[in-house]
């Protein structure tokens, strides 16, 4: 009887330790412990954002100079049930060197599903900049953020 009681106390202590340890896990491990669906969705979202960064790099004059700021995934305007990250739009900021070899400052970009990146034109060119800002506000500001890097 005493042996059975010792086993029960020992197992209870072990259960408390395991439950406490799971609560102390870093966020990315807690996501994995929460279940495959949320972890898989996070991985798919990160993959989409990294692919968008790669597309933006290829559109720059000096791809190796790209320094990304905030990059995030916004909900698609299409009626696509989640998780379909490839149907979402990626928005963000990138700083890269120009033709003269100098960094120009953070520029906004939008990557729509299946399309080439849409980089913000110079603010001095109002004819192109103002329409971009209208699209940025509609696609990147007004919609809920799904994930970010």
Mean pLDDT of 123-140: 89
Q: State the pLDDT at residue 44.
A: 85
Cis amide prior to 113 (ω within 30 degrees): no
pTM of the model: 0.67
Q: State the pLDDT at residue 45.
A: 86
For 74-127, the pLDDT digits (tens) are: 977 554 444 454 468 999 999 999 989 999 899 999 998 888 888 998 888 888
Q: Do residues 65 and 97 touch, judged by C-beta distance below 8 A? A: yes
For 20-37, the pLDDT digits (tens) are: 444 555 555 555 555 556
Cα 32 from Cα 55, distance rounded (Å): 28
For 37-83, the pLDDT digits (tens) are: 677 888 888 998 999 999 999 999 999 999 999 999 997 755 444 44
Cα 81 from Cα 132, distance rounded (Å): 28
């Amino acid at each position: 009887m005493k042996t059975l009681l010792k086993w029960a106390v020992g197992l209870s202590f072990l259960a408390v330790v395991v439950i406490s340890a799971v609560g102390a896990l870093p966020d990315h491990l807690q996501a994995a412990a929460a279940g495959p669906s949320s972890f898989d969705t996070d991985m798919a979202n990160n993959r989409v954002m990294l692919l968008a960064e790669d597309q933006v790099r290829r559109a720059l004059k000096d791809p190796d100079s790209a320094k990304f700021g905030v990059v995030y995934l916004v909900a698609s305007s299409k009626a696509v049930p989640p998780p379909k990250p490839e149907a979402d739009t990626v928005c963000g900021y990138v700083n890269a060197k120009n033709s003269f070899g100098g960094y120009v400052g953070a520029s906004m970009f939008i990557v729509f599903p299946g399309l080439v990146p849409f980089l913000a034109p110079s603010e001095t060119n109002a004819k192109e900049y103002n329409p971009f800002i209208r699209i940025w506000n509609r696609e990147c500001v007004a919609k809920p953020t799904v994930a970010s890097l």
